[in-house]
Amino acid sequence: MDYKLKICAKDIEKKKPTQSPITQNMHSSNHSPLKSNKKALMSYVKALEKELGNSTKIIGIVEFGSYAKDEATPVSDIDTRVYVSNPKHYIWQPVIARFDQSQQDTLENRFTEFEKEFGASPKLKYDWATFNKPLAEKISAQVNINIEFGLADYRYTMFELQNLNIFATVEHAILLQSNILYDPKKWLKKTRDNIRGKKFPPLVSFYKKRYLDALPFEIYQFLKNDTYDDFKIKKSGQIQWVKWAVRCLRDAVASKTYINSGNFTYQKSEVLNFYKHHIPEDYKFIQEIYDWKTNAITRQEIVNDFLNNRKHYFELFESLMPRLESVVKKVNKTQITK
């Protein structure tokens, strides 16, 4: 297939992005409104602490989504991980929204192991659907910024990063592939500096299996209608298969470079440079897939057409899967010289 992929058999009507020219000119794909606006950031911190209550304090915030990856458009939301501390309780919010019961049980058992080391305390458990989702909408309206958040007890984070086995991959990957927004005591910076540039065998094995030996399983579930598509299109103008296609390409390179050096290559320009240098025959294909997610006008055109012509897009996405699989296999076999 020629790299110039046909989005649809018919011409797509050109539509202007929803943002004004002024907003677009002010937008930066790697510099979020929270990062550039300290007043808005502090309003976010205060609003979250007020809603959490129970003496819970925020000790750090990172953004780890599109803005950290240099992939954001003006409609992108800001994905944040909020590290909290509470003197009398543990804050517990496992990332289990789309996990099956066995995975949920694994995470619950892991938290039990944490309690054995740090001591037992009552848990304040926050459900994403009933707590985070409505609160994110409320705070986003208050600060006029599109925000998502997840909570992490900093003590649990430290427990995982001290062990650095396969259970630590979420904490490890987020911390090393994010922008620090709020870190008053420099805890996040010190923690990140302590693990940066270091290769840990269990993580090397995990990243290879998860992102290089095959495509992540999540992309396959978005080859058909999924209610999460509708939610994310409304929230941030994003089709989930496109998001995961870019993630497959990015995480393959990130994993390969981590295995080689202990550091992740994950920002758009660096990832594209990797492909241009190591897999030039697929570069234009990869560049176009990135455009589907990161070019504001193209992204909106595709979303508009997708909503009216889903069957065509799912057929198109299905046809592109072998090409994606081939690219990731090539990354896996790439020899990187130090």
DSSP code of residue 73: -
Give residue 100's pLDDT band: very low, low, confident or very high (50, 70, 90).
Answer: low
Which pLDDT score is estimated for 14?
Answer: 40
Average pLDDT over residues 87-105: 74
Q: 91 forms bridges with which residues in the sheet?
A: 124
SS3 232: helix
Average pLDDT over residues 27-40: 87
- Give the angle subtended at the CA of 175 by the CAs of 140 and 136, to the nearest 5°: 15
User: What pLDDT, in 10s, does the model give residues 183-239?
Assistant: 999 999 999 999 999 999 999 999 999 999 999 999 999 999 999 899 899 988 999
Q: Is the pLDDT of residue 128 over 90?
A: no
Which pLDDT score is estimated for 86?
Answer: 96
Q: Which helix (H) or strand (E) holds 188?
A: helix 187-195
Residues 6+ apart with CB under 8 A from 330: 278, 279, 282
Give residue 20's pLDDT band: very low, low, confident or very high (50, 70, 90).
Answer: very low
Percent of the chain with pLDDT over 90: 76
Give residue 11's pLDDT band: very low, low, confident or very high (50, 70, 90).
Answer: very low
Q: Which helix (H) or strand (E) holds 124?
A: strand 123-125
Q: Is the pLDDT of residue 6 over 70?
A: no
Neighbours of 64 (CB within 10 A): 20
pTM (predicted TM-score): 0.89
User: What pLDDT, in 10s, does the model give residues 270-287?
Assistant: 999 999 999 999 999 999
Q: What residue ranges do the domains of the chain occupy?
A: 30-196, 211-333
